[in-house]
Amino acid sequence: MTARYRLGPDGMTINVKVQPKSRRLGVQGWVADVEGERLRIGVSEAAEDGRANRAVCAVLARVLEVPASAVSVVQGATSRQKIMRVVGEPGHLVRKIEALTVTGHD
């Protein structure tokens, strides 16, 4: 089982599961996956032309309190299971992501 996220010297990567065209928007907590746990995020956009990817980046940027330009998809651009990269101070990012673990939403 892999970790929910991995820290690096200038940020982290986060395992995410995206629910495009969702009625329930935003962070929906952690869900089990064959590779570990993923942060489930619902967005209203369809998975067409990268719209859902951009929406997921915006949600993560908002809840982690980083600029939108600091969030990107590094793996799974055409899949619901993604690995997202967030550039920022690792301590700040860990505090924010752990707060999501407790609350389960933004």
Distance CA 79, CA 64 (A): 22
- Cα 50 to chain centroid distance, Å, stands at 15
pTM above 0.85, yes or no: yes
For residue 67, give its domain range: 5-103
Looking up residue 75, the CATH number of its domain turns out to be 3.30.1200.10
Distance CA 43, CA 7 (A): 25
Q: Does 96 have pLDDT greater than 50?
A: yes
Distance CA 5, CA 3 (A): 5
Local confidence band at 101 (pLDDT 50, 70, 90 cut-offs): low
Count how many domains the chain has.
Answer: 1
- How does pLDDT run across 25-71, given as a tens digit for each residue? 999 999 998 878 999 999 999 999 999 999 999 999 999 999 999 99
